[in-house]
Amino acid sequence: MDIKKLIFLSFLALLSFAAVSHERSVYGKVIDASTKKGISTLNILNKRSNQVVATNETGDFYIRAMVGDSIIITSFGYNRKGILWDGKDRNPVLEVKLQPFMLQELVVKDRKLSDLHKEIKDFLANPNDSKAIRNEILKSMLNTNTSQPGIGISIDALYEMFSKEGKMNRKLADMQFQDAKSFYADLKYNKQVVAQITHLQDEDLDDFMVFCKPTQDFILNATDYELTFKILKCLGDFRNTRIIRRLR
């Protein structure tokens, strides 16, 4: 091998070693700002090296960094946070806050979302009386001209019960329990609700609705927080799946 090439390669190897030798191990922890408990499955990114790691079940993570590196915490459901590593704090504890999900109130005439939740509880507790309950809510819908911030009820759910000509395709008295169950589930989980939480639009929103299909039982029994968390978890899986497909 030419002596000049050998010297050049040796110089490059020395530079690489010098760069790596300035990296240090950082053993950090990410906690919830409110509960002070560790948070799992958060993504930790070193912007310089593009190294990405995830926190474990107790919120701990390990990453390599140099002085001045930007270490970014990202996750669905929590506010983004970053630090410039000073090279001294080898065990940083970082607090992140839950994103404030401002779910607008679902308005079915004079009913608010809290009233709908009560109706759903009554419906699940007394399935034999479901006809009277659903008839009452069907009588009172649909009012979108309200001064209150409302997302309306699922238009898809209405179209399923009405024909394209806008006529009832069957009598309310003949509706089965599963029909009412589907109706209530669609009131809680639909495109309007998902769009507010995920900010997805158009084809992305359509694809997500196909990808994320919580069971009706989960939707009906879940709290707003549980349903929101489920949607965000689905959103993370949805985006990761798309990234994997692009890499193939």
Residue 52 C-alpha from the chain's centroid: 20
Cα-based distances in Å from 17 to 11, 20, 33, 87, 184: 10, 5, 39, 18, 62
Q: How many residues does the chain have?
A: 248
Percentage of residues in the chain having pLDDT higher than 70: 55
What number does CATH give the domain 3-96? 2.60.40.1120
Q: What is the pLDDT of residues 78-102, one digit of tens each?
A: 788 889 998 888 899 999 987 654 4
Q: What is the pLDDT of residues 199-246, one digit of tens each?
A: 888 888 999 999 999 998 898 888 878 888 889 889 988 888 765 555
Average pLDDT of every residue of the chain? 71
Where exactly does CATH 2.60.40.1120 map onto the chain? Answer: 3-96
